């Protein structure tokens, strides 16, 4: 895998895979609902304040997070895997197991 490190308060998420099958029927990719949760792959160092200090991130690598389905994140493809780069403010919560 290529190496990627987000900058600032950005989070790199591996989105969950959408369900292709509902009951006995296969759902075409255009009709599948985009998942709004995924696994955190990498995080930035945190939001930089005016005094130069950084605010620590609220999520860590390995967390499963729920994010806004209407996020303006950027899709990134590395080694044929699609990731989503979002701001930490778009993360709505951490899924506890």
Instruction: Judge whether 5 lies within some domain.
Output: no
Beta strands in the chain (DSSP E): 10-15, 21-22, 25-26, 37-43, 47-48, 54-55, 64-67, 74-78, 81-87, 91-95
Instruction: Judge whether 69 lies within some domain.
Output: yes
Buried b or exposed e, range 49-62, using 16+ CB within 10 angstroms: eeeeeeeebebeee
Question: Domain range spanning residue 22?
Answer: 10-95
Write out pLDDT tens, residues 10-53: 999 998 876 555 556 665 655 555 668 899 999 999 888 889 88
What pLDDT shows up at residue 35? 66
Instruction: Judge whether 2 lies within some domain.
Output: no
77: domain CATH number is 2.30.33.40
Contact 22, 31 (CB under 8 A): no
Q: The whole model's pTM is what?
A: 0.79
Contact 32, 20 (CB under 8 A): yes
Q: What's the structural domain count of the chain?
A: 1
Instruction: Judge whether 1 lies within some domain.
Output: no
Instruction: Judge whether 42 lies within some domain.
Output: yes
């Amino acid at each position: 895998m290529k190496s990627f490190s987000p900058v600032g308060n950005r989070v790199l998420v591996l989105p969950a895979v959408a369900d292709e099958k509902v009951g006995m029927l296969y759902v075409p990719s255009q009709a599948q609902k985009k998942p709004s949760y995924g696994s955190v792959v990498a995080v930035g160092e945190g939001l930089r304040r005016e005094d130069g200090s950084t605010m620590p991130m609220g999520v860590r690598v390995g967390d499963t997070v729920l994010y806004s389905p209407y996020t303006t994140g950027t899709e990134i493809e590395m080694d044929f895997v699609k990731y989503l780069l979002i701001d930490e403010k778009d993360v709505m919560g951490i899924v506890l197991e």
